[in-house]
Amino acid sequence: MTSSSQHSPGEPLVPNVKQALTRTERELLLQIIPDRIPAHVAIIMDGNGRWARRQGFIDRIRGHEAGSQSVREAVGTASELGMKTLTLYAFSTENWQRPAAEIKALMLLLEKFLREKIGELNENNVRLIASGRISDLGPKVVRVLNHAIDATSANTGLTLNLALSYSWRAELTDAARRIAAEARNGTLDPDAITEADISARMYHAELDDPDLLIRTSGEMRISNFLLWQIAYTEIYVTPVLWPDFRRRHFYEAALDYQKRERRFGKETRR
């Protein structure tokens, strides 16, 4: 990719934006430096319930429905910006404690998304993968999910990683079980275990760690998301509720990220 200085004013920095942009979006996009776009963005998509309440809906599910449109837009924006991976926290292991009707509605929405968006994912060259205790989702959702994963597996653009029945403690527990089993089999020497060995046993070890973690709706917490992988991730919390999170907000997050000085524990450079 080229640096921003080589672009003439008025020319979009990222040429493959298909959408007609508003003036604000265009102005923000023009400030984004292509070679400083975060390669892997992870999003804690929070605030659907609050959005529903603020809109006057009694049913929180209306917020989840509205949030599906934000997912579509975030996937489109991430792929237009040339990001490599977008990890979306869609359902946590703790979310199983929600009322049965809400869980059912969330599973139906997930199924609907997976059934209806395969064409769009393929058009955008997006490859779908999933992280979490996937079998918890039940055979029907698993079947639809696996179909979507297979149908998009040859795509070479953005990798969309859906965190489903995911929590980091569950991921760590699953990794610990694998490590213990390998130690018992004699295929892994307990005294020689390295950080790389642990990383290799996470759900999708092939993914680079996130560069940027976005949390919508203002909560200053991680809620059991990717704790191993976000050791040096830049964090961006926005008060915008997930159903209101639009392309412009994603651009703002990317712009905030490109101002950060990532140090990884080394000396300051400015």
Q: Which residues bind ligand IPE (CB under 6 A)?
A: 44-50, 89-92, 94-95, 106, 217, 219, 221, 223
Tokens describing residue 94 = 């703790």
The residue at minimum Cβ distance from ligand IPE is: 49
Catalytic residue among 35, 48, 59, 95: 95
Binding mask 30-49 for Mg ion (x = CB under 5 A): ----------------x---
Binding mask 46-65 for Mg ion (x = CB under 5 A): x-------------------
Rounded Cα–Cα distance for residues 212 and 43 (Å): 8
Buried b (16+ CB within 10 A) or exposed e, 19-32: eebeeebeebbbeb
Catalytic residue among 16, 35, 46, 191: 46
Judged by beta carbon distances under 5 to 8 A according to partner kind, the member of ligand IPE, Mg ion, none in contact with residue 118 is: none
Reading phi first (left if > 0) and then psi (alpha if -120 to 50, else beta), residue 47 is in left
Contact present, 13 and 5 (Cβ < 8 Å): no
- Closest C-alpha among 153, 150, 156 to residue 124: 156
Q: How far is the CB of 264 from ligand IPE (least distance, A)?
A: 27
Q: How far is the CB of 51 from ligand IPE (least distance, A)?
A: 7
Q: How far is the CB of 243 from ligand IPE (least distance, A)?
A: 9
To the query of whether residue 46 is one of the catalytic residues in this protein, the response is yes
Q: 28 vs 106, which CB is nearer to ligand IPE? A: 106
To the query of whether residue 136 is one of the catalytic residues in this protein, the response is no
Give the residues lining the site for Mg ion (CB under 5 A): 46
